[in-house]
C-alpha cells in the first residue's frame, strides 16, 4: 500500500475534457501546484499532437520540478523519438487491444501488436527514459491476449505496464483479477499502472482495488476531468488512500493544497467544484441533522472518516434548519460568545425549527435569534425569569455568571 505512486494526468487526459483549453502559463500553474502537493509524476499531452504540445512538454520538463514528467504516445517510433527529444523523464506507449479498437482503430492483430512493440520499445529504452507500455481498452480485451503482450514486453526492458479501463466498465473485483494475473506474468520487478475512466462511477473504487491487488501506480486528474466523464479524481483517490493509512498519506502529500488545486483547475476550465467532491466540495465537512451534530461535537470520529484539520479545512455545523438540535445551538452560541442553559438552548432550538418550517433560514437569521434571546434573558426581568425557568447557570450581559441559589 505504501509503495503506490500518483501519475497525475490533468495536463494530458485532463486536456481532453470538453472545457479544457490550457494555455502554457496555465499548464505551468497546474504543474507547479501538483508538484508542491507531492504527486510523483505529471503526464503531458504527446508532443506529436501539435507544435504547441511539443513546446509545452519541453517547458514543463524544464521547470526542474521534483515530480517526473511523462508523455503519452502512440506505439510508433517517430512519436517516441519526438517524446524523448522534448526532454521528458518517461514515455508512456499505448495501443488498443480490444477487438473493437483493433477492428475500428489501427486494424492490427495481437501478433502484429507484439511485433510493433518489439520495434518501438527498444527506441524508448535506448533513449534512457522511463518506459511504460499499456494496452488500451484492457477491460474489453481478452485477458489471454493482454498476458501474451505483457509477457513479450516484459523481456524488452519496460519499467511499467498499464491496465486501462478506457470506457469505465470495470468493477473492483474484475480489476483485482486482471492486476493479479498481470503481476503473475511480469513478475515482481515491473510496476503496474492503472488508468480508470469514470463512466459508471467506479473509478475510485477500481483504483483502490488495483492497488490492493498489486498495482503500484494510479492515474488521476484534478476533479477527475478528462474524456467524457473523465478518470479517477485526485482528491477522491487521496481521500480513499488516507482512510487506509492516514499518517502515511500525510507524509507523502501536502493535503491542505487539495482545495486550492481543485478550485484553481475548476476556474480554469469554467466549472464549479461539485458540492459532493471528496474533501474539497463545500458540503464535505458539513453536519446538519441534530443527532449527527451532537455526536460530532462530542467526538468528530462518530461521523467523520476524514479529519478536516489534516486537509487544512474546518467542519461546519448547520444550525439554520428544522433538523437542528439544542447541542448545535449551544455550539453556535459559544462561537458568538453567548451562553445559555440547556433548557434555554432547547427553547431556542424550537424557535428555529418553527421559523425554518415557515421559510428558508440562514445563519444570520439564527444569530439574530440567539442575540435577541440573550438580550431578553440578560435584562433584569428576563434574568430572573431565565433563572427560574432554566434552574441553572446563566451569563448576564456584563459577562458574569449567575447561578441560582436556594431561599
Instruction: Report, as residue numbers or ranges, the catalytic residues.
Output: 292
The grid cell for 146 is: 493482454
CA distances from 213 to 173, 242, 328 (A): 9, 18, 43
Q: DSSP state, 105? A: I
Which three-class secondary structure state does DSSP give residue 374?
Answer: helix
Residue 154 in contact with residue 161, Cβ under 8 Å?
yes
Which three-class secondary structure state does DSSP give residue 216?
Answer: coil
Assign residue 228 a region (left: φ > 0; alpha: ψ between -120 and 50; beta: otherwise).
left
**Cα 264 from chain centre:** 14
Q: Which residues contact 365 (CB under 8 A, 6 or more apart)?
A: 320, 355
d(CA 267, CA 265): 5
d(CA 19, CA 42): 20
d(CA 20, CA 267): 11
Q: Kindly report the length of the chain.
A: 407
Burial class (CB in 10 A: 0-12, 13-18, 19+), 343: middle
Q: Regarding beta strands 401-403 and 393-395, do their DSSP bridges make them parallel or antiparallel, or are they unpaired? A: antiparallel
Amino acid at each position: 500500500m505504501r509503495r503506490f505512486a500518483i501519475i497525475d494526468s490533468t495536463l494530458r487526459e485532463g486536456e481532453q475534457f470538453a472545457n479544457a483549453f490550457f494555455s502554457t502559463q496555465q499548464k505551468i500553474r497546474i504543474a507547479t501546484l501538483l508538484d508542491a502537493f507531492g504527486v510523483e509524476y505529471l503526464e503531458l499531452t504527446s508532443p506529436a499532437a501539435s507544435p504547441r504540445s511539443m513546446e509545452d512538454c519541453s517547458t514543463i520538463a524544464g521547470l526542474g520540478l521534483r515530480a517526473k514528467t511523462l508523455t503519452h504516445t502512440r506505439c510508433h517510433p517517430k512519436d517516441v523519438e519526438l517524446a524523448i527529444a522534448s526532454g521528458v523523464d518517461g514515455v508512456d506507449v499505448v495501443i488498443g487491444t480490444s477487438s473493437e479498437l483493433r477492428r475500428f482503430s489501427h486494424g492490427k492483430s495481437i501478433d502484429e501488436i507484439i511485433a510493433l512493440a518489439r520495434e518501438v520499445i527498444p527506441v524508448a529504452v535506448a533513449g534512457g527514459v522511463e518506459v511504460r507500455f499499456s494496452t488500451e481498452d484492457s477491460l474489453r480485451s481478452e485477458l489471454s491476449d493482454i498476458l501474451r503482450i505483457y509477457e513479450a514486453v516484459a523481456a524488452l526492458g519496460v519499467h511499467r505496464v498499464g491496465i486501462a479501463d478506457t470506457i469505465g466498465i470495470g468493477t473492483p473485483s474484475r480489476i483485482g483479477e486482471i492486476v493479479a494475473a498481470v503481476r503473475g506474468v511480469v513478475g515482481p520487478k515491473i510496476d503496474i499502472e492503472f488508468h480508470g475512466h469514470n463512466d459508471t462511477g467506479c473509478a475510485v473504487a477500481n483504483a483502490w482495488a488495483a492497488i490492493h491487488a498489486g498495482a503500484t501506480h494510479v492515474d488521476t486528474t484534478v476533479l477527475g476531468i478528462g474524456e467524457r466523464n473523465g478518470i479517477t479524481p485526485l482528491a477522491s483517490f487521496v481521500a480513499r488512500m488516507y482512510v487506509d493509512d492516514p499518517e502515511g498519506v500525510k507524509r507523502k502529500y501536502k493535503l491542505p493544497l487539495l482545495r486550492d488545486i481543485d478550485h484553481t483547475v475548476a476556474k480554469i476550465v469554467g466549472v464549479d467544484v461539485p458540492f459532493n467532491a471528496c474533501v474539497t466540495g463545500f458540503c464535505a465537512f458539513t453536519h446538519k441533522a441534530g443527532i449527527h451534530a451532537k455526536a460530532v461535537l462530542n467526538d468528530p470520529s462518530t461521523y467523520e472518516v476524514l479529519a478536516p484539520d489534516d486537509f487544512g479545512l474546518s467542519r461546519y455545523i448547520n444550525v439554520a434548519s428544522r433538523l437542528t438540535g439544542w447541542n448545535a445551538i449551544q455550539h453556535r452560541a459559544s462561537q458568538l460568545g453567548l451562553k445559555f442553559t440547556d433548557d434555554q438552548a432547547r427553547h431556542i432550538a424550537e424557535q428555529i425549527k418553527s421559523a425554518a418550517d415557515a421559510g428558508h433560514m440562514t445563519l444570520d437569521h439564527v444569530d439574530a435569534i440567539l442575540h435577541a434571546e440573550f438580550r431578553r434573558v440578560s435584562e433584569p426581568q428576563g434574568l430572573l425569569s431565565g433563572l427560574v425557568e432554566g434552574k441553572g447557570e446563566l451569563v448576564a450581559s456584563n459577562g458574569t455568571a449567575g447561578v441560582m441559589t436556594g431561599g
